[in-house]
Amino acid sequence: MRGKQAPKRHILPDPKYHSPVVAKLINCVMEKGKKSIAQRVVYTAFDLIEAKAKKPAIDVFGEAMKNVAPLLEVRSKRVGGANYQIPVQVRAERRQQLAFRWLLTAARSKKGKPMAEKLSAEILAAAENQGDAVKKKQDVQRMAEANRAFAHFAR
């Protein structure tokens, strides 16, 4: 590794819920630097979640993140001319980032509705352990479980 490691950037909490996790979600939703539009999408989605779930949106979002975030994933490693898929534990920051990515990919893949509605539907489904994002997590976990025999190749 050349040079020095990039410094850790601390994100300010979002203005409405005062949560750094929601602020990171807003930044992940944002496209082409349009933060006000991303905030509107996320806050509208949270309002829809509160209306449907009859619970605070931040609690439902926390539950969804817990259900989508993976504990294990596989990494490729070359050992003696063969590539092995080695299961490794996922660091907390990467776990959060993967959960955001899978939630947003699942929401964006749906067609015919505004983004706020698609995002709220996906978060609600994830909170109930359903939906495409949870399915993606289960696939990753299953792949890691299937390759558990190669865990001894990890450092």
Q: Check residue 80 and give its pLDDT.
A: 87
Answer yes or no: pTM beyond 0.75: yes
Give the homologous superfamily in CATH for domain 20-71+99-140: Ribosomal protein S7/S5 (1.10.455.10)
What integer pLDDT is reported at residue 77 of this predicted model?
87
Convert the pLDDT of each residue in 83-116 to its tens digit. Answer: 888 899 999 999 999 999 999 999 999 999 999 9
134 vs 150, residue with greater confidence? 134
First-to-last CA distance in the chain?
Answer: 18
How far is Cα 108 from Cα 97, in angstroms, rounded to an integer? Answer: 16
pLDDT at 153: 80
The answer to whether the beta carbons of residues 90 and 151 sit under 8 Å apart is no
Span 61-84, average pLDDT: 91
For residue 122, the model assigns a pLDDT of: 95
Average pLDDT (8-31) is 94
Sequence ranges of the domains in the chain: 20-71+99-140
Q: What are the pLDDT digits (tens) for 114-149?
A: 999 999 999 999 999 999 999 999 999 999 989 888
Pairing of strands 82-89, 72-79: antiparallel
